[in-house]
Amino acid sequence: MTRMLKRESFRRWDFSKAFITSLMIHAILIFGLGFTLFQIQERFDPQRVVNIKFANANFDSLGNLSSLNNTQETINDEERSVANNFSNQSFQAMSIRRLEANSLQNDSESRYLNSWQRKVETIGFYETNRISFEQDSMTRIKAIINAEGELVDAQILQSSGSDEIDNLAMNILKEASPFLPFDDQMLSMYEFIEIVRDWNFYK
């Protein structure tokens, strides 16, 4: 009888130890996961993300009034000049959709530009974390993308004044490609899309 009681007591003790051990393991896992998520959030600095202002609208991606209003006419003249002097003759014979300052967009183009920007900003977040900026900078870049979503040409229209910043922006654009292929609506209208955007880097 005594032996049976001891055995039953031993089983209850084993169960209690297993239960307590299980609780401790779960607590450690939950704490570790929460700490990891907290650390990731701490590392994410929204000011370091590349903020690409739409060159064809008065509002940027966050819905804030853009500073392009005061320079709209100058930007239009510059972009028209670049478009008219486009150096690569092979593209001139093709159908290109140029999104300039006053361009209107259909639904397909709006979705495409949104996807394009999200991918560039995602790559830009990781790339900009490797550099400490001494001051805020802006560079204007033209990107030409074919129907398969491949980056076929990229040019700096307005330099930031820093080779490091200009090269960083071009590297982000190249790392982000390829982009989404054109949908049927876009394919029915043109073979290339030309995107001109201001890239703002914050210290």
Percent of the chain with pLDDT over 70: 51
* Distance (Å) of CA 193 to CA 89, 100, 132, 137, 152: 16, 11, 33, 26, 10
146-202 pLDDT, tens per residue?
999 999 999 999 999 999 999 999 999 999 999 999 999 989 988 999 998 889 888
* Residue 177 exposed, middle or buried by CB count within 10 Å (0-12, 13-18, 19+): middle
46-201 topology per CATH? 3.30.1150
The three-state secondary structure class of 24 is helix
Whether 61 and 197 have beta carbons less than 8 Å apart is answered as no
Query: Structural domain boundaries of the chain?
Result: 1-43, 46-201
pLDDT in tens, 60-118: 333 333 333 333 444 444 444 444 444 444 445 458 887 654 556 678 888 888 899 89
Amino acid letter, 105: Q
The tokens for 196 are 């001109």
State how beta strands 137-146 and 151-158 pair: antiparallel
From CA 160, how far away is CA 136, in angstroms rounded?
Answer: 9
What three-state secondary structure class fits 117? helix
Per-residue pLDDT tens over the stretch 34-64? 444 444 444 444 443 444 444 443 333 333 3
* CA dist., res. 123 & res. 152, Å (int): 19
